[in-house]
Chains A and B, each alone.
Chain A
Amino acid sequence: MLFNEPHPLETRVLTKRMHEPGYNGTVEAYERYGGYKQFLKAVEMTPDDIIGEVKTSNLRGRGGAGFPTGMKWGFVPRQSSKPKYIVVNGDESEPGTCKDRVLIENDPHLLIEGCLIAARVVGAERGYVYIRGEYRYLIDIMERAIDEAYRAGWLGQNIKGTGINFDLRAHSGAGAYECGEESALLESLEGKRGNPRIRPPFPAVAGLYASPTVLNNVETFAAVPSILEMGGKAWADLGIEKAGGTKLTCLTGHFNKPGVYELTLGFPVEKMINEVGGGVRGGRKMKAFIPGGSSCPVLTGDEAWPLTMDYDSMAKAGSMLGSGGVILMDETTDMVKAALRIMHFYAHESCGWCIPCREGTAWLKKLLTRLDAGSGSARDIDLVGDLAKNMLGRTFCPLGDAAALPTMSIVKKFRHEFEAKLSRPVSVPVTSPDQLVSLG
């Protein structure tokens, strides 16, 4: 099922099949539209050639960090006494992000084919698709697709006579944002608490069960068949220099036409908002813009309008492309409350492993709650910025930064809104201790 109308400005590469009338994502349908041919092509290529194409394509990880995928695959040792693994990150928990869902729901075999190609590259014989627990129905879809693929001979032993063996399973998470972080995901997949691991070693060298592991986002794996199909160069050319291809972009918040759209990298923000997203809700002014999920620093409307949707452009503007979860806030938005809601999330999701994140997010949540309720002081505003700054760059994993960055940017860019709340009379209808955000 598709959740929103497609848009003519989309460049449909990963999502091309799902838009075909009657396409139902079964193995037969997938094969009918040329599915699994790229895997067979990959079998004819050498691992180095495949990695070469992926490098040429300028595919960068779609999970948020944007690390070049070809390079990452190249880190996996060719010779290893240990079995190798493919792990798909389908934890999709970054607020504002809901794209992997679209891929798995509508075209699960595309993901399986991506995994097969990766397995072919590194010589992995087992893989897991880690899907967040809330997406139970997607786990069911994935499992059905996997069963179909086994039946059709695309998974299992000696796949289609290629001599390649590959087993794939779906694995359910159980509600933890931190398990999207790759090393915490591996801990979780091993049946443990989702605490991140010390790196190095990186998963490519010692990942699942301390074995070499290729770990990528759903969308990253799903991009690979089209790279082989089009050739790395043509795929790269869809995007811009240093960022090839398309990105599933989630328009959320105050859009007239929110939805998930496949846009080329480097797509202008202005065009994205006004044409693809149908403009700002009610024709209002855009107050703030988050390019890639709530972990990214917030840009003001003025800052965001002239940018393009790619890694470098966003970095230059002081934010990040992230996971492609665009959050648009119009002029009616209460930025103090937005800051509080974002911090509430990180405090809830901090795994508790390291001190600055565990204590910092909890403290900031309390502080922002008071500020939002109108019982803060001017000193508290500085303290918010200060504490966030004190967390930044010092936590064990990037979740701490993810909590600090948006907070710092909101305090800096929307300080007047905090100040305006200082004298508001206090009335805090807290219904339960854990529900500190719902302040009316």
Chain B
Amino acid sequence: MMTATPTEVTTVTLSINGQSVTAPAGTLLIEVCKKLGTEVPAFCYYEGFSLQAACRMCLVEIEKFPKLQASCTIPVSEGMVVRTESPAVVAARKDMLEFLLSNHPLDCPVCDKGGECELQDMTFRYGAGESRFTEIKVHTPEKQWSPVVFYDAPRCILCYRCVRVCDEGLGVGALGIQYRGVGAEIIPNMGDHLNCDECGACIDICPVGALTSGAYRYKTRPWEMNHVGTVCTHCSNGCKTTLGVRTDEIIRGNNRDSSGINGEFLCGKGRYAFDFNKHEDRLTSPLIRKDGQLVEVSWSEALKAVATKFSETQAAGGSFGVIGGVHSTNEENYFLQKFARQGLKTANLDHQRTGDVPALLDALSGKSDVLATTDDLYNTAAALVIGSDLAQQHPFLAYQLRANGRHHNARVYTVTPGKVREADYAAASLTYGSTSELFGKLDELRDRLKAEPELVILFSDAIKGADVAKLVAYGDSLGITVKYVALVDYSNSRGALDMGLLPTLGPGYHAAPVNGLAAPDMLAAGLDVLWVVGADSGKGNAKFTVVQDMFLTPTAAAADIVLPSASAYEKSGTVTNVCGQVQKLKPAVRTMGTKPDLEIMGLIAREMGLNLGIWTHDHVLTEIRSGVAGYNVPLPIIQTGGAAQAQPVNGRVPLDGRPELVQSAQDTLFTSGTLGRYSKALTSVIEYPGKLYSDNQ
């Protein structure tokens, strides 16, 4: 907000604690100090949100100013002489902390935030050892605003970070302020409770223990946990989530260090919906149908039974069908298609398709650098969202666009079947009744989009098949640089496509040597063996079904053999997000009795005597990197928790002409397929299951 437009950037030279620094004119002093490594403490200042200058912690001395100045709101100027550690500054900090602590309960030993509290840290560094406050503190009881959000007013220091992240960051505006003076406190939008995204951004951003998480509170002390940074396993946006783990139990999800592609963003799924992992219905033992009943058996018995069945069917020239999962890792999906094509010699291979990526790649053939990343969404001058309630279905992408609008005045256009939250700041928001009207609506926007310097188009399953080429032709007709995102639903929906879990396409969108059946056809084909890995596809009329899953889904319940698999939070491997960015999972916990799908497949292969290569994720990743188009991603980046964009095939892609198979599951912020149903945190919120295109203000 304080940044000048590129044309008028001039640099100024100033002095901070005697050190000469240059910075673009207009940069906030606190940011320049930070870059210099000079810490200026602050509660209310939070990069990216509107300025408050309310906490007065960041006061510094600037020559020629009679009073100390709030460095969070002062733009640097030529010749400024700044002192951030002078006696006056140090005294002011100490005094502010003394004021702040006057009404703040000193219940650190039982406060959830203890050990990670900014107030505690600042008092330790800058504060006074004893308090001169001997009056009675204001006390009000703690309030529960939702199953996951609690507010303790006395601990609140009124930095308004929560109010701003909710309003400016999410566009929800569910938090406000009530009363004034020392009685001021934060209030939820429904009087005594919240009706919101339940994203918990307010909890994360709270510098003290005023806002606490219903999923975490009073369970542990932060220092008793291990913090494992991994990738959320729910939607396709691929946010980094840091799982707090104690004795093999995930206790908390947050984004502790804001280091992922998602910065400070995380939605409710990434934050609370890890609890499916320890749901009491988790499968922990292989099951085999005996006398019509699924009974628990040992792993060796189950693996042997699967291998025997597979080998016998193969020997008898029987038919196979393989359906893979949208949460499985790239390594698993790659290995699965290899197993199917090379091991079982079947081309019947598919998964739950939620966005038409192959059609997009085909239509873009010959163009380079046309797939947008999540960073592009934050930096593009303009974006067009088609057919998605982005804030509900792709919350991180929505967050990026909103931040872009806020920070860079990006123009966002939406063309959707109903009202979307983006409308509150969008340059234009059009709605359509049926998809047949969609291109007509796009025509209405054509002239405005032509005037944009560049554009990112995000489109859902509302555009698929031949319409995708039509959309790209539309993009071409604008005469500007256009990048695309084909929206898909789940944490590795994109990876399943890239790894070739399709009846006509192999890894990297190369034509499969032989074409097979698509999922619905498989289910109807009376196959001898159907193998479902991490999907609730149904078994159709298959004669024998093997299912690998975490839960006894309807498909698993109808299966002949069920193998309990590990969750994404229990294994290694890579996943690819909706924008094609590859990130690495890190195992946080283990569930006794389960195995990662990759290991299960490897053991079946071994049992069958197949040679499909070593089945550790590292080996499979090496094979993917060398063999799958676009997947030669730099290892150091992904190994250090970064994201690298896969650059898939850039040529014609043979399409199977079945666009009707592309169907978004239309998940909301509170649903996430099977996983969502097993998350008590998600199903407990009153908004569950939520509705798309509803006015949720």
Residue positions of A touching B, CB distance < 8 A: 176, 178, 193, 198, 347-356, 358-363, 366-367, 370, 383, 390-391, 393-396
Contacts and interface: CB of A to CB of B under 8 A. Distances in A.
B180 A193 contact: yes
Contacts of A391: 99
Given A352-B179, A355-B55, A383-B132, A394 B96 contact: yes
B99 A198 contact: no
A75 B504 CA distance: 70
A362 B182 contact: yes
25 contacts: A176-B180, A198-B53, A347-B181, A352-B177, A352-B179, A352-B181, A353-B52, A353-B54, A353-B158, A354-B54, A355-B99, A355-B157, A355-B158, A359-B99, A359-B103, A361-B181, A362-B103, A362-B138, A363-B102, A366-B136, A390-B98, A394-B56, A394-B59, A394-B68, A394-B92
A347 B103 CA distance: 14
B67 interface: yes
B68 A358 contact: no
A393 B65 CA distance: 11
B51 interface: yes
Given A198-B73, A396-B54, A356 B181 contact: no
Contact of A361 (B68, B135, B182): B182
Given A176-B180, A393-B68, A394-B67, A355 B56 contact: yes
B133 interface: yes
Contacts of B67: 393-394
Interface in B143-196: 157-158, 177, 179-184
Contacts of A396: 53-54, 56, 70
Nearest to A370: B135
Contacts of B52: 353
Given A355-B54, A356-B56, A350 B182 contact: yes
B4 to A, nearest CB: 15
Contact of A351 (B59, B73, B132, B181): B181
A370 to B, nearest CB: 8
A363 B133 contact: yes
B56 A395 contact: yes
Given A359-B100, A363-B102, A366-B135, A193 B177 contact: yes
A257 to B, nearest CB: 36
B95 interface: yes
Given A393-B67, A394-B59, A359 B179 contact: no
B135 A363 contact: yes
A176 B157 CA distance: 22
A76 B95 CA distance: 38
B54 A348 contact: no
A358 B181 contact: yes
Interface in B517-570: none
Contact of A367 (B135, B180, B181, B182): B135
A40 B179 CA distance: 46
A393 B92 CA distance: 10
Which 9 residue pairs are nearest across A and B when measured between Cβ atoms?
A: A352-B184, A362-B182, A359-B99, A366-B135, A390-B95, A350-B181, A393-B67, A352-B181, A352-B180
Contacts of A351: 180-181, 184
A361 B92 CA distance: 17
Given A193-B177, A352-B180, A354-B54, A359 B102 contact: yes
A360 B181 CA distance: 10
Given A393-B67, A396-B56, A362 B181 contact: yes
Given A178-B180, A347-B181, 12 more contacts: A347-B182, A351-B180, A352-B183, A355-B57, A355-B96, A355-B99, A355-B157, A355-B158, A359-B99, A362-B182, A394-B56, A396-B54
A360 to B, nearest CB: 6
Interface centre among A176, A198, A358, A361 (most CB of B within 10 A): A358
B623 to A, nearest CB: 57
A358 B184 contact: yes
Contacts of A356: 56, 95-96, 99
Instruction: Determine the interface band of chain B, counting residues with CB < 8 A from chain A.
Output: 35 or more
A355 B100 contact: yes
A396 B66 CA distance: 15
A439 B591 CA distance: 67
B93 to A, nearest CB: 10
A3 to B, nearest CB: 31
A347 B102 CA distance: 14
Contact of B182 (A178, A359, A383, A395): A359
A208 to B, nearest CB: 18
Nearest to B135: A366
A367 B99 CA distance: 13
Nearest to A393: B67
Contacts of B132: 383
A279 B600 CA distance: 100
Nearest to A383: B132
Contacts of A348: 181
Given A355-B99, A362-B103, A350 B180 contact: yes
A396 B103 CA distance: 19
Nearest to A379: B132
A262 B1 CA distance: 47
A372 to B, nearest CB: 14
Contacts of A370: 135
B645 to A, nearest CB: 39
Contacts of A361: 181-182
A352 B92 contact: no
Contacts of B179: 352
A120 to B, nearest CB: 33
B293 to A, nearest CB: 65
A117 B100 CA distance: 47
A393 B89 CA distance: 12
Contacts of A355: 54-57, 96, 99-100, 157-158
Interface string B40-71: 00000000000111111101000000111010
Contacts of A347: 181-182
A361 B59 CA distance: 20
B600 to A, nearest CB: 57
A352 B59 contact: no
Given A193-B177, A383-B132, A390 B182 contact: no
Contacts of B100: 355, 359
A370 B136 CA distance: 12
B55 A354 contact: yes
B318 to A, nearest CB: 72
Nearest to B104: A359
A359 to B, nearest CB: 4
B134 to A, nearest CB: 9
B56 A354 contact: yes
Contacts of B136: 366
Contacts of B99: 355-356, 358-360, 363, 390-391
A394 B95 contact: yes
A353 B181 CA distance: 7
A176 B180 CA distance: 10
Nearest to A395: B56
A116 B446 CA distance: 46
A198 B59 CA distance: 14
A391 B103 CA distance: 16
Contacts of B182: 347, 350, 352, 358-359, 361-362
A390 B136 CA distance: 21
A79 to B, nearest CB: 18
Contacts of B138: 362
A359 B177 CA distance: 17
A395 B95 CA distance: 12
| Residue from A176, A348, A356 having most chain B Cβ neighbours under 10 A | A356
B135 A198 contact: no
Contacts of A350: 180-182
A94 B666 CA distance: 58
A347 B133 CA distance: 16
A15 B144 CA distance: 58
A391 B95 CA distance: 8
A198 B180 contact: no
